[in-house]
Amino acid sequence: MNTVTENVSLSAGLDMSNFWMPFTANKQFKAAPRLLKGAKGMYYTTVDDRQVLDGSAGLWCVNAGHGRPEIIEAVRRQMTEMDYAPTFQMAHPLAFEAATRVAQVMPAGMDRIFFSNSGSEAVDTALKIAIAYHRSRGEGQRTRLIGRERGYHGVGFGGITVGGILANRKAFSGSMIPGADHLPHTWNPQEMAYSKGQPAWGGHLADELERIVALHDASTIAAVIVEPVAGSTGVLIPPQGYLQKLREICTKHGILLIFDEVITAFGRLGKATAAEYFGVTPDLLTMAKAINNASIPMSAVAAKREIHDSIINAGAANAIELFHGYTYSAHPTAAAACIATQDIYRDEKLFDRAAGLAPTFERAIHALRGEPFVKDVRNLGLMGAVEVESRDGAPGTRGYDIFLKCFAKGALVRYTGDILAFSPPLIATEAQIEEIFATVRTALREVA
């Protein structure tokens, strides 16, 4: 019987039956596991002692490379000094220091920082702040949330409500937050295939927000949330002018604009944030992952000062203003890791380094055009995707096979269906970027 609940094979001496793996084909994985045991710089080490070049910065998150001694030492020191302190009606200095450091690289004015522990929590936090903000201004009827097709905003009920990935939504469709609506996604292969950087076509797609406003009325809408560059559904680069237009329409109608920068914050596009890269300032910005190089779970929302002030000033002097928070908000070790990580970004100018590597990345990824099955290549900063033709009746299997081949040949890449996604750590060398795509080329030539 095809079951994994009992007697899962012992691989590398491990009983694999207890760990219910997230976003994983459990049966398939446990039949042929891929196990990592070490990580340093640009490389993972597998349990069978192979070196694997990290083409995806883990899950888009280890921007400063693996095993940074500065972060390890900061965590060790903090763990020794104080393992945990609450931040409900108590606090510790590193929480404030981490917030200050994060605020320093946020767009001007977005300097009020709420900490959480995952991208999903940051998204739920931002959605709640948006609703609370309107309520604080006497517009409590503004509760409707607008997301976008092919958006990924994590797995909380808020996140799947505004998210646009069918598989993540369908099982829970009756349990989502009522009233949400979605913008169309921005991907159009006829108009955009093989774009380098931002596609010229598609800015007008932001006008769909006017249609949604005309349907629901702006007075019911709290916020629009988008990833500036959609990551998890295959690196969908925003068309030129699109984000600017979304900003204009949101401002015109008093709707808050949330950028979900869980992937793009901290250098992925060669700037601290995508907001800075595109020159578009949202009202709320979510971040996670690279905030502390993914060393300890941590995420945050940056809010414009006036949003924070409106909520804070609406409360009485001794009242809790926002009934929201997590046991581990600004956990001391996560905060220590965050500060050490921000030091590395600053001292090694890693965002500039990413910008400097982007042309090499663009050339190397687009050199895959014309290889077997490739039907699109797209890129921005140090994010890129190669989309391959799906097998008849078996979508996703070719992407998976290419991913497996790359891993066997010593490169870790992401795949989502038949889209391969790339996001190397910002410390990569040009030669390592070339190596990642050379490995993909070999895999493409071998795959059926």
Ligand X SMILES: Cc1ncc(COP(=O)(O)O)c(C=O)c1O
Which residues in this chain contact ligand X in the complex, by CB under 6 A? Answer: 118-120, 123, 152-154, 227, 231-232, 260, 262-263, 288
Would you put residue 413 in left (φ > 0), alpha (ψ -120 to 50) or beta?
A: beta
Q: Nearer to ligand X by C-beta: 136 or 159?
A: 159
Q: Nearer to ligand X by C-beta: 299 or 342?
A: 299
The rounded distance, in Å, linking the Cα atoms of 231 and 223 is: 20
Least distance CB 118 / ligand X (angstroms): 4
Q: Nearer to ligand X by C-beta: 158 or 202?
A: 158
Largest Cα–Cα separation, the chain: 67
Q: Nearer to ligand X by C-beta: 127 or 406?
A: 127
Token pair 């201004």 in the structure block, residue: 137
Q: Nearer to ligand X by C-beta: 148 or 405?
A: 148
8 Å CB contact between 390 and 376: no
Least distance CB 110 / ligand X (angstroms): 17
Contacts of 438 (CB under 8 A, 6+ apart): none
Closest C-alpha to 145, from 137, 160, 81, 136: 160
Least distance CB 27 / ligand X (angstroms): 22
Whole-Å CA distances, 178 to 258, 284, 323, 379, 422: 19, 22, 21, 35, 35
- Residue-level length of the chain: 448
Least distance CB 296 / ligand X (angstroms): 12
Whole-Å CA distances, 126 to 142, 185, 284, 324: 14, 21, 7, 11
Within 10 angstroms of residue 138's Cβ, the number of other Cβ atoms is 8
The dihedral formed by the CA atoms of 92, 97, 100 and 104, expressed in degrees to the nearest 10:
-160
Least distance CB 286 / ligand X (angstroms): 7
Least distance CB 234 / ligand X (angstroms): 12
Q: Nearer to ligand X by C-beta: 301 or 350?
A: 301
Class of residue 18 by CB neighbours under 10 A (exposed 0-12, middle 13-18, buried 19+): exposed
Residue 162 one-letter amino acid? V
The rounded distance, in Å, linking the Cα atoms of 411 and 155 is: 28
What are the E-state strand segments in 277-422? 284-287, 299-303, 374-380, 383-388, 411-412, 414-416, 419-422
Token pair 């049966």 in the structure block, residue: 27
Q: Nearer to ligand X by C-beta: 155 or 404?
A: 155
Least distance CB 100 / ligand X (angstroms): 23
Least distance CB 362 / ligand X (angstroms): 22
CB-based closest residue to ligand X: 119
Least distance CB 284 / ligand X (angstroms): 13
Both tokens assigned to 67: 């095993």
Least distance CB 105 / ligand X (angstroms): 18
Both tokens assigned to 447: 């795959």
The rounded distance, in Å, linking the Cα atoms of 268 and 263 is: 7
Residue 335 one-letter amino acid? A
Q: Nearer to ligand X by C-beta: 47 or 165?
A: 165
Least distance CB 112 / ligand X (angstroms): 20
Q: Nearer to ligand X by C-beta: 119 or 202?
A: 119
Q: Nearer to ligand X by C-beta: 231 or 270?
A: 231
Q: Nearer to ligand X by C-beta: 158 or 399?
A: 158
Kind and range of the H or E run holding 260: strand 256-260
